[in-house]
Structure 1
Amino acid sequence: MRAFFTTFYLTDIDVGPDGRVTDHLHPEWANLRIISGTLPVSEIRNAAPFGGTNAIVTGPTSTAVRFTTGTSRIWGIGLLPLGWAKYVAAPANAFADRLCDPATERDFAPHCRLVDPLFGPEPDEMAELARITQHFESLSARPVPEEARIRAVHQALVDKEVASVADMAEHAGLPTHTLERVCRRHFGFPPSLLLRRQRFMRSLSQYMLDPALTWIGAIDSHYHDQAQFVREFHRFMGMSPSAYAALPHPVLAGVMRARMAAAGAPVQALHDPSKD
Structure 2
Amino acid sequence: MPALTDTSPVSFILPAQPLRRYISTYYFLDTGTDEVEQEDFLYPEWGTVRFRLRGPATGNLVGLQPLVIPADSVTGPTGKAALVRFRNVHIVGFGILPLGWHRLIGYPADRWADKVSAVDAAPEFAILAQLRRELDSVTDPEQIAARFDHILLQAISGPDPLETDIESIHYAIANPEISNVGKLAEATGISKQRLERLSRRIFGFPPKLLLRRQRFLRTLAAVMENPDLKWSGALDGQYFDQAHFNREFHQFMGMSPGQYLAMPRAVSIMSNRARAQHVGQVLQLLQVPAPSDRQ
The 3-state SS of whatever aligns with 1:75 is strand
Structure 2: distance between partners of 1:270 and 1:105: 28
Structure 1: distance between partners of 2:136 and 2:284: 25
Correspondence for 2:6: none
Q: Unpaired runs of 5+ in structure 2?
A: 1-18
Displacement of 1:51 in angstroms is 2.2
- State which of 226, 235, 239 in structure 2 corresponds to 1:223: 239
User: Structure 1 residue runs of 4+, over 4 Å off?
Assistant: 45-48
Q: How does 1:87-236 map to 2 (within 5 A)?
A: 87-120=104-137, 123-141=139-157, 144=160, 146-236=162-252
1:250 matched to 2:266: yes
Displacement of 1:53 in angstroms is 2.4
TM-score (norm 1): 0.94
The 3-state SS of whatever aligns with 1:251 is helix
Structure 2: distance between partners of 1:144 and 1:232: 36
Number of residue pairs matched by the alignment: 274
Select between 235-244 and 34-43 the one with higher mean Cα deviation: 34-43
* CA distance 1:155–1:261, change in 2 (3 Å): same
Structure 2: distance between partners of 1:161 and 1:52: 38
Structure 2: distance between partners of 1:52 and 1:210: 32
Correspondence for 1:13: 31
* CA distance 1:169–1:52, change in 2 (3 Å): closer
The 3-state SS of whatever aligns with 1:138 is helix
Correspondence for 1:25: 42
Cα RMSD (Å) of the superposition? 1.7
Q: Unpaired runs of 5+ in structure 1?
A: none
- State which of 49, 67, 91 in structure 1 corresponds to 2:84: 67
Displacement of 1:274 in angstroms is 2.6
Residues 63 and 254 of structure 2 are in contact (CA less than 8 Å); yes or no, is this contact kept in structure 1? no
Note the alpha carbon deviations across 1:51-102, whole angstroms, 9 max, x for none: 2522111100000011111122211111110000000121110100111111
Q: Which amino acid aligns with 2:24?
A: T
